Structure 1
Amino acid sequence: MSRLITASRFFIWLAILGTSSAMLVAAGFYLHLRPGLPAVHQLLDTRLQTPLRIYSADDRLIAEFGEKRRTPVTIDQIPNKQLQAFLAAEDARFYEHFGVDIIGLGRAAVELASTGQIQSGGSTITMQVARNYFLTRDKTFARKFNEILLSFQIEKELDKATILELYLNKIYLGNRAYGLAAASQVYYGKPVDELELAQMAMLAGLPKAPSAYNPLANPERAKVRRDWILGRMEELDYITADERNEALSQPLTARYNASQSEVNADYVAEMARAEMLARYGDTAYSDGYRVTLTVNSNDQVAATDALQRGLEAYDQRHGFRGPAGTTDQVPADEETYRSILEAYPRVEKLYPVVITDISNDDNQATAWSRHLGEGFIPFETMTWAREFRSTNAMGPEPSKVSDVLSTGDIVYVRRQPTPQEPAPDDSSLSDDHASMDEDEQAAPIIAPVAMALSQVPDIQGALVSLEAKTGAIQALSGGYSFEQNKYNRAIQAQRQPGSTFKPFIYLHGLEQGMTPATIYNDAPIVQESSEMEPGWRPQNAGGEFNGPTRLREALYRSRNLVSIRLLQDMGVDETIAFLDQLKLPTENLHRDLSLALGSGSMTPMDMARAFAVIANGGYDVQPYLIQTIENSDGDLLYEAPPAILCDSNCAQLRENNPTPVAGFPAIRVAERLADERAVYILHSMLKDVIKRGTGTGARVLERDDLAGKTGTTNEQKDAWFSGFNHDIATTAWVGFDQPATLGYREFGGTAALPIWVDYMREALDGTPPADMTRPSGIVEVRIDPDSGDRAAPGQEDAISEIFRTDNVPEQTAGNGLSGGSEDANLPRNLF
C-alpha cells in the first residue's frame, strides 16, 4: 500500500513538473515572441489588394486591372446561409471559442485517424485571419505558436462579426478570386446575395484547397465537398432536410466568368490605366481605386460601332482579299474544326469559320465556328466580294458562292439576325476566358446560325469626340480592334491633316481683316524650282480652276489655290505665330506655303481639340479623360475642375483660384485665344461646307447647327472630317498605318464623313440645336456675288453676307451694273 502511495505521489509530482515545465516553455515562447507580434488594430487599417476599376460617366464598368480580383463586402451584405456554409465547412464553433478550438482540433484528429483525411480542418477562422493577414505559410512551430497568440489577441480586441468579415474578404478561392464577392462573380457571374444554397456550399468548400476542390478544374471532387458541407449544415440545424435534399439535387452550375466589361472602350481604358500608373505607380493595380471617366457609355458604344462599320464599309468597297487560311481536313468532326480555328482569333464581332460545304444550287455555304457552332452563309451576303486586285481595281461581280468560296476555306463572318430574333448581342461572346471550353459554355448558340461573309479590315482609323466648352472626352476609338492592335491612333498617329487644316488659315485671315466676301483668284500657282528641288505646282482636287472666288465659297469648296494665296498674303511666319496662339502643336508643321494644304502632321486628338476651340467660340480647352478618382473607401481623391471660359482678367481669376483640401484646383481658366467675331463668321462659313460644299453627306442628320471640314491629303493617303456644333467637336480619320493611297475615289467626304455622321447621329439624338450666339460687332450686308462689294440698291442677284462692323465693304461706282468689277479694279489677291 505504501508503495502504491509512493508511486502515486511520484507520478503526481512528475505531472506537476511536466505541466510546470510546459507552462515555463510556453511562457518563454510567449515572452520571446510577444514583442514581435503585430498590433491587432492594424487589421482594421489593412488595405486589401483590390483591382483598379474604370467606369464610364454613367457608371458602367469599362475595365478592371490588377492581379487579384477582389470586391470587399461588409458582413451585412452577405446572406446568413452563406455565413453558415463557411462556418459548417471551416469553424462550426466559431461563436463559442476564443480563437483556438480545442474540441475542433480533437475532432480533426479523430477524422484523420478514422478516414485518413481532415474534412473540417483544425484551424479556426480566427487563426486563418491571423495567418492570412500577418504571417507566412511556413510550417514551423514558431509560426504556429505566433498564429495561436495572434488569434487570442484578435479575439480579445475584435468582435466576431469583424473577424468573419475580414476572413471572407481575404481568403483565396481560386481563379485569381480573392474574397467571397469576387468568387461569386468569377464562378457564378452574380453578386453574393443572389446565390442559391448549392452555390453557397460550393464556394464554402474552396478555402480548404482552392485547386483540389475547384468546380472548374475538378468538378467531381468539388461536388463531393459541396455535398459534405450541405450535410454538415443540416447536422448543425442551419438548414432543413428538405433544403439539403433540394440543394443536393442541383447540378454544378459553376463556369468561368471574367469581369464583363459593359462598354467596348479598350482604347479609353488603356489611356486611363496609363494615367493612373503615372499618378500612383504600381499601387494603382492593387489599392482599389475607382476611376470615373468623362465618356458616356452610349456615346462610346456609338463611336466604336461607327468606326468599325465605316472601316468595314471601306474595306468591302475594295473587294475580297481571299480566305484567311485553308485546310484540307474537310469534312471532319467538331474537335478537328476547333483545333484548326484556334489559330484564328475572333476580332470584335467577326468570327472565324471553316467552310464545310457548298450547296448543290451554289447559293449557300455551310460553315462551322467554335463560337457560333454550325451556320450558313447565303450568297446575298457575298455580292460585295469581288476579287481584290489593287486599291483601285477589282475583279468581276460574283454570281454564285463558288465564285468566292471553296470548301476548306477559313474566312471571317458576322452573325446575322433571323426574322424571328433581334440583332445579335455579341457582348457575351468573348475570348477572354481561361479556356475555350469555358468560352463555349459562356454563350451557347443554337445552330444553324445565319452568317454574313466579311473580312478583317486592313484599313485603320480613329474617332475623337470632345465636349467643346470643357475638353472632356465624350468618346474615343483608336482603331478597328484594340485586341488586334493596341496602337492608339487617336492620340499616337501623326498624320497630315490635309484640307481639314484650312479653317485655321482662314481664321487667321478673318482676324487680319479678310472677310467671307474677299475675292481671291482660283488659278494655277507655280513656285519656281531650284537646282536641288523640282518646281511646286499645287492643284485643286479634280484639276479645274474657278477664277475669282469669294473666301466663303473657296472654303466650302475646299479650293487649294485660294488657301495658298491667302497664306501668302498673311505670311507663313505670322500664321505659325497665330497657330501657336491657338496652342496648336506646330513643331511638326511645314514652314512654307504647303502649310495652307495641311502639310506636316497632327494627331486626331490634336485636330479634335483644335476644332473644339472653334466650336466653343475661341476659348482654350485641353482634352481630359478622368473625371473622378476614389480610393477603396469611397473617398474622393481627385475631381476634374470645371472649365471657366474667360475673356478678360484671366490672370487675376487664375491667381484667386481657391485650392480645396484635396489638393486639386477648383477651376480651370480657359482663356480666349481667338476673336469671337472672327470665330462666329468662321462658324457660318463652315456650316456652308455641310449645306453646299464637300460635306453635304452630313445633311442626312437634318440639323442646322452643324459645321465642319473635310480633308484629303495627296494621293488620298489620309481622309478626315472634323465637325461640330456649339457643344460637341468630333474628328474622324481614316488611313493605313503605313501610309498608302486609299484609292482614287476615296476622300474625306466618302471615307471619314460617314463615320462622323454615324456617330453624331447617336451623340446628338434628342439634343436641342446648339449654335454660337452672335456677338456684338457683327452685321449682315447684301453684296454682289461676283465682286464681293456691297450690292447696289435693287440688285436682283445680290446675296447676304456677314461682316465685322469694321470690315463692311463699301459700295463702289457701277457696282451691280456689269455683274462684276472691271479688270482695272480687281484686287491684288487675284494675281
Structure 2
Amino acid sequence: MKKKIFIGTAIVLLGLVTLAAAGALGLYLWAARDLPSFKEITDYNPSLVTTVYARDGEVLGHFYRERRFLVQLDEMPDFLVKAFLAAEDRGFYEHPGIDVTAIFRAMVRNIRAGDIRQGGSTITQQIIKRLLLTPEKSYERKLKEAILAYRLESYLSKDDIITIYLNHIYLGARSYGVEAAARSYFGKHVDELSLAEAAVLAGLPQAPSRYDPYRNPQSAKARQEYVLGQMLTADWITREEYDEAINAPLEYTSMPDPSWKTGAYYLEEVRRWLVNYMSRENMGSMGITLDRYGEDAVYESGLHVYTAVDLDHQRAAEQAVRDGLIASTKRRGWRGPIKKLAPGEMAEFLSSQKDVLQKLASGEWVQAVVNKVSDSGAEVQFGNFEGWIPVKSMSWCREPDPKKAPEQVPAVSDARKVLAIGDVVWVSRADLDAMDDKDKKAFKPSAEGQVPLNLEQEPVVQGALVSLEPPTGEVRALVGGYDFQKSHFNRATQAHRQPGSAFKPIVYSAALDAGFTPASVVIDAPVEYRFGGRVWRPGNFENEFFGPTLFRTALVKSRNTVTVRIAERMGVDQIIRRAHSLGLDAEFPRNLSISLGSVAVTPYNLCEAYTAFARGGTAVEPRMVLAVKGAWGDDLFMSAPDVREAISPQNAYIMTNILEDVVQHGTGWRAKVLNRPVAGKTGTTNDEQDAWFMGFTPYLLTGVYVGFDQLTPMGRFETGSRAASPIWVQYRQAVEESYAPEEFPVPPDIVHVNIDLATGKVADGTGGESKFLPFMAGTQPMTSVIGAVPVGGNETGVSASPLSPEDLFKQF
C-alpha cells in the first residue's frame, strides 16, 4: 500500500514538475517571441555631446540633443561606482543579470500593495529597459527584461555593463551620465568628485526630480545619507569615511556652458561647416563609416572638434566691433527712446528688472526709465535704484548735418531736447576713475544715492571682423555682427558687399604684371563714358583731381579716375583673372566698374585674397577647423595649410610696399599707432553704404567691414578710414604684443630706386619730394619720365581686349 502511495505521489509530483517545466517553457517562449535584439548594446553608441575646442584647449562650445559626455570606467573614482551599486544593485558583480531574491521581495511588496510599486531590477535590467524596452510597468515587460539581461551578461563583461549604465543613466538637470551630472550639480569633472558628492549623484536615479539638489536639497541630503549607509553596511567605506562624507558641506553649482557666448559667430560657422562635412556622401567618399551623418552626427556623435580660434583674439575682436558700431551709431545722432511708458506702467516695468546693479558693475547696459529732466541732465530709475545722466553724456545726440562732420556740429546743451519723462533708454555706468576732475563734476549726481550713468544707444548698423595668420591660414578671430543673440546672420562669411577701394590692390597687382610700375604716371582728371544717352562719370572723394599722378600715389591716395584709366588700358579681363587667382569666388562682369570694387564679396573671402600680399605671392585658404576626432579618439578630419601660387613674390612685395604707404601717408593712417610695419587699404562705396579696412603684417591679417544690412547710406563721413579702421586698430592694439615686430621680406630681383614723386623720374637731388620705390629688376626708370605705359595698344590707351559699349555700361 505504502509503495503504491509512494509511486502515485511520485507520478503526481513528476506530472506537476513536467507541467511546471512546460508552463515555464511556454511562458519563456511567449515572452521571447518578439524580443528585440540586444546585440546592438554590445556596440554602445549613445547620443553624446560634441565639444568644440579653442586653440589652447579651452572649450568654445557644445552641440547636443542629450547632454552626455562619454567617460571610461578607469576615469571614474572607485567610490563613485560603489555608491551607485550600493544604491541600485549591491549584488551586481555576483548575479547573472537578474537577482531572484530582489524580484521575490518586490513581488511580495507589490502583492501587498495591490499594484506594481517596486521592480527589483538589476543594473543590467535597467540598461535593457532604457535601451531596448518600453518603460511600462507590467509582468510581461519584467519577464522580457530578465531574459534579455541574462543573455546580455553572456556577451558583455560586468565592467562594460556598469560603464554603459553610468554613461547612459538620466540624472536630472538635462544631464545624462555621471560626467554631465557632475558638471551640472557640482561644477566639476567626474574624476574631481568627493565621496559626499558621489553619493548625492548615486541617489538620483530612483527619482531625479524628487531628489534634485537645487529644488529639494533636504531630500537630496536624506538620499545621500541612505547611499552612504548602504556603502558602510557593505564595508565599501570605513566609519571615518562615512562620518567625513556625512558632515561634508555640499555646495551646488553648475559648470558654465561657454556655448553661444564668447565666439558665438565663430562657433556657428564651425557648426555649419561640420554639418556639411559630416554628410553621408563626404564620409562615404573617404571610406569612413558612421552611424550618424550630417546634423545627427554633429549633435549626437560626441565629436571632438579642434579649431584655430584664439579666445584672447576673439574677445578683443568682439569688443572692438561692439565699440566701433556704437561709435558709428552715435555719430548719426539720437534715434529716440526704446519706448515710452505711461505713469501707471512704470512700477510694473521697474519690478520686472533683476540684478540691474550687478549688470552695470560688470559693464552691461540696462534699461532705465526717465522720471525727471532738466537742462543739466535726467534722473532715471532702474529696478530699485536711481541714476543720473548728465547732459554731457548726451553730447552725441546732436542733429546730424549732412554737410558737416559730427564733431563740427554743436553738442547738445539741454537734456530736455533729448529726453522726456517716461522715456525708456539704455544706460551704462559711468567710469569716473577714467575721467579728469572737470568731467567728474558733470557726472555728480543731482541727489544723494544716484548712480552716475551714460546715455547709450544700440546700433542698427552692423559689421564684421576676420583675423587670420597668413603663414598657416588659421583664423584666430571671427565676428559676424553686433550681437549673435539678436541676429545669427554672419556678416563675415554670408554678407556679400561691395568692397569699394579695398578691391583696388587687386587691380594694381594685375597692372604691375601688365607693364605698369610704381613710377608710372597716369592722369588724374575727370573722365566720362557715354552710351545711348547714359553717362558714367567716376570721381574721386570730394571730387578733387590732381593731374599727372604716380601709380604708387594713385593707390596710396585712392584715386578713382586713375584706377579706371589703368583698368581701361590693361583690360578688365586681366583684373578678373587676377581676382580669381587670388581666390575671390564672385562672378565678375566685363565692365570697368569692377575696378572700383562694384562686385560684392564677403569679408572672409577678401581676407583670403589679401593673403597673397602678406605671404609674398602664395595665397592660403582660411582655416577654422583644424581637426575632428570621434568620441573614442579616432581621426575623422585633419587639415593642413592649403597653399597655391597666386602672384609673383616681386609683385606681392611691391604691392605690400605701396600698401605700407597707405598706412603711413594715406587713408589707413590710424594704423600707424602700432609703430611697426603694417600694410593696409581702406574701402568706401557710393553714398558710404559700405566701409572697409584691410590691414596686415606678415604674421596677422585682419579685415573689417561696417554697413547696414539693407543698403542704406551711413552718412557722408562714414568712410573706411572713420568707420572701419578704428575697429581694426582697437583689436590689433589688444593682441599685437603677442607677436614680435616683423618686416616684410624682400624677394630677389627687386631694385629700389629713389624716385621724384612729382615726375616719376629718378630723383637728382635738385629738389622736390622723393622716395625709394621698389621695382621688378629691369623695369626701374633710368632718367626719363615714365609715362602711362600702353599695354597691347597705343598711346591713346586702347585696351588689348577692348570692351563693347554694352559691356562698358553694365552695372554702372
TM-score bracket relative to the smaller structure: 0.7 to 0.9
Q: Write out per-residue CA displacement over residues 328-362 of structure 1, whole angstroms, 9 at most, x where no aligned residue.
A: 45664898324999xxx99x974443438669997
What residue in structure 1 maps to residue 649 of structure 2? 676
Q: Post-superposition shift, 1:262?
A: 9.2
Q: How does 1:96-245 map to 2 (within 5 A)?
A: 96-108=94-106, 122-217=120-215, 221-238=219-236
Q: Write out per-residue CA displacement over residues 391-431 of structure 1, whole angstroms, 9 at most, x where no aligned residue.
A: 889896455776655665433344667879xxxxxxxxxxx
Q: What SS does the aligned partner of 1:781 have? A: strand
CA distance in 1 between counterparts of 2:424 and 2:544 reads 47
Q: What SS does the aligned partner of 1:722 have? A: strand
CA distance in 1 between counterparts of 2:735 and 2:371 reads 43
Q: What SS does the aligned partner of 1:489 have? A: coil
Q: Post-superposition shift, 1:713?
A: 0.8
With 453-462 and 380-389 compared, the bigger mean Cα shift is at 380-389
What residue in structure 2 maps to residue 691 of structure 1? 664
Letter in 1 for 2:551: L
Query: Is the CA contact (8 Å cut-off) linking 1:494 and 1:601 kept in structure 2?
Result: yes
Q: Post-superposition shift, 1:35?
A: 8.8
What residue in structure 2 maps to residue 495 of structure 1? 497
Q: Write out per-residue CA displacement over residues 186-230 of structure 1, whole angstroms, 9 at most, x where no aligned residue.
A: 233221233345543332222123334334455565455445434
Q: Does 1:577 align with 2:588?
A: no
Q: For 1:368, which of 382, 407, 414 is the aligned residue?
A: 382
Q: Does 1:336 align with 2:351?
A: yes
Identity of aligned residues (%): 36
Change (3 A) 1:783 1:640: same
CA distance in 2 between counterparts of 1:384 and 1:190 reads 49
With 460-469 and 112-121 compared, the bigger mean Cα shift is at 112-121
With 27-36 and 160-169 compared, the bigger mean Cα shift is at 27-36
Change (3 A) 1:332 1:194: farther
Query: Is the CA contact (8 Å cut-off) linking 1:67 and 1:176 kept in structure 2?
Result: no
What residue in structure 1 maps to residue 641 of structure 2? 642
Q: Does 1:521 align with 2:523?
A: yes
Letter in 1 for 2:183: Q
Q: Post-superposition shift, 1:605?
A: 1.4
What residue in structure 1 maps to residue 756 of structure 2? 784
What residue in structure 2 maps to residue 631 of structure 1? 630
Q: How does 1:290-439 map to 2 (within 5 A)?
A: 290-327=304-341, 328-329=343-344, 332=347, 336-338=351-353, 350-355=364-369, 365=379, 367-368=381-382, 374=385, 376=387, 379=390, 382-386=393-397, 397-398=411-412, 408-414=422-428
Query: Is the CA contact (8 Å cut-off) linking 2:621 and 2:641 kept in structure 1?
Result: no
Query: Is the CA contact (8 Å cut-off) linking 1:509 and 1:570 kept in structure 2?
Result: yes
Change (3 A) 1:402 1:25: farther
CA distance in 1 between counterparts of 2:463 and 2:112 reads 69
Query: Is the CA contact (8 Å cut-off) linking 1:61 and 1:263 kept in structure 2?
Result: no
Letter in 1 for 2:320: A
Q: Does 1:70 align with 2:75?
A: no
CA distance in 1 between counterparts of 2:580 and 2:727 reads 30
Query: Is the CA contact (8 Å cut-off) linking 1:463 and 1:733 kept in structure 2?
Result: yes
Letter in 1 for 2:500: G
Q: Post-superposition shift, 1:494?
A: 1.3
Query: Is the CA contact (8 Å cut-off) linking 2:185 and 2:254 kept in structure 1?
Result: yes
Letter in 1 for 2:647: A
Query: Is the CA contact (8 Å cut-off) linking 1:382 and 1:404 kept in structure 2?
Result: no
Q: Post-superposition shift, 1:32?
A: 6.5
Change (3 A) 1:573 1:20: same
Query: Is the CA contact (8 Å cut-off) linking 2:507 and 2:567 kept in structure 1?
Result: yes
Q: Post-superposition shift, 1:687?
A: 0.3
Q: Does 1:279 align with 2:270?
A: no
CA distance in 1 between counterparts of 2:431 and 2:82 reads 46
Q: What SS does the aligned partner of 1:299 have? A: helix
Q: Post-superposition shift, 1:627?
A: 0.7
Query: Is the CA contact (8 Å cut-off) linking 1:325 and 1:410 kept in structure 2?
Result: yes
Query: Is the CA contact (8 Å cut-off) linking 1:365 and 1:401 kept in structure 2?
Result: no
CA distance in 1 between counterparts of 2:303 and 2:392 reads 46
What residue in structure 1 maps to residue 605 of structure 2? 606
Query: Is the CA contact (8 Å cut-off) linking 2:584 and 2:609 kept in structure 1?
Result: yes
Query: Is the CA contact (8 Å cut-off) linking 2:492 and 2:602 kept in structure 1?
Result: yes
CA distance in 2 between counterparts of 1:10 and 1:540 reads 120
Letter in 2 for 1:592: N
What residue in structure 1 maps to residue 790 of structure 2? none
Query: Is the CA contact (8 Å cut-off) linking 2:699 and 2:739 kept in structure 1?
Result: no
Change (3 A) 1:382 1:230: farther
Letter in 2 for 1:301: R
Change (3 A) 1:674 1:400: same
CA distance in 2 between counterparts of 1:18 and 1:579 reads 92
What residue in structure 2 maps to residue 765 of structure 1? 737
Q: Say what the alpha-carbon RMSD is for the aligned residues.
A: 3.9
Q: Post-superposition shift, 1:297?
A: 2.1
Q: What SS does the aligned partner of 1:566 have? A: helix
With 787-796 and 539-548 compared, the bigger mean Cα shift is at 787-796
Q: What SS does the aligned partner of 1:756 have? A: helix
Q: How does 1:451-466 map to 2 (within 5 A)?
A: 452-466=454-468
Q: What SS does the aligned partner of 1:790 have? A: coil
CA distance in 2 between counterparts of 1:381 and 1:641 reads 53
Q: What SS does the aligned partner of 2:325 have? A: helix
Q: Write out per-residue CA displacement over residues 20-54 of structure 1, whole angstroms, 9 at most, x where no aligned residue.
A: 43333333444666697677665342112102221
Q: Post-superposition shift, 1:696?
A: 0.6
Q: Post-superposition shift, 1:246?
A: 6.6
Q: What SS does the aligned partner of 2:67 have? A: coil
Change (3 A) 1:559 1:52: same
Normalising by structure 1, report the TM-score. 0.81
Q: Post-superposition shift, 1:118?
A: 9.6
CA distance in 2 between counterparts of 1:499 and 1:777 reads 29
Q: Post-superposition shift, 1:366?
A: 5.3
Q: Post-superposition shift, 1:137?
A: 2.5
Structure 2, unpaired ranges of 5+: 279-293, 435-448, 787-793, 799-812
Q: Write out per-residue CA displacement over residues 438-463 of structure 1, whole angstroms, 9 at most, x where no aligned residue.
A: xxxxxxxxx99876442321110011
With 44-53 and 207-216 compared, the bigger mean Cα shift is at 207-216
With 164-173 and 252-261 compared, the bigger mean Cα shift is at 252-261
Letter in 2 for 1:715: D
Query: Is the CA contact (8 Å cut-off) linking 2:373 and 2:420 kept in structure 1?
Result: no
CA distance in 2 between counterparts of 1:785 and 1:227 reads 87
Q: Does 1:467 align with 2:469?
A: yes
Q: Write out per-residue CA displacement over residues 672-711 of structure 1, whole angstroms, 9 at most, x where no aligned residue.
A: 221221221111111000011111100111112x101011
What residue in structure 2 maps to residue 775 of structure 1? 747
Change (3 A) 1:283 1:678: closer
Q: Post-superposition shift, 1:65?
A: 1.3
Q: What SS does the aligned partner of 1:410 have? A: strand
Change (3 A) 1:558 1:275: same
Q: What SS does the aligned partner of 1:765 have? A: helix
CA distance in 2 between counterparts of 1:417 and 1:233 reads 56
CA distance in 2 between counterparts of 1:761 and 1:335 reads 40
Change (3 A) 1:109 1:335: farther
CA distance in 1 between counterparts of 2:314 and 2:43 reads 38
CA distance in 1 between counterparts of 2:117 and 2:197 reads 19
Query: Is the CA contact (8 Å cut-off) linking 1:55 and 1:61 kept in structure 2?
Result: yes
Change (3 A) 1:378 1:623: same
CA distance in 2 between counterparts of 1:326 and 1:412 reads 13
Query: Is the CA contact (8 Å cut-off) linking 2:682 and 2:720 kept in structure 1?
Result: yes
Query: Is the CA contact (8 Å cut-off) linking 1:723 and 1:729 kept in structure 2?
Result: yes
Q: Post-superposition shift, 1:596?
A: 2.3
CA distance in 1 between counterparts of 2:205 and 2:350 reads 35
CA distance in 2 between counterparts of 1:530 and 1:374 reads 68
Query: Is the CA contact (8 Å cut-off) linking 2:463 and 2:481 kept in structure 1?
Result: yes
Letter in 2 for 1:169: N
Q: Post-superposition shift, 1:77?
A: 2.3
CA distance in 1 between counterparts of 2:137 and 2:465 reads 57
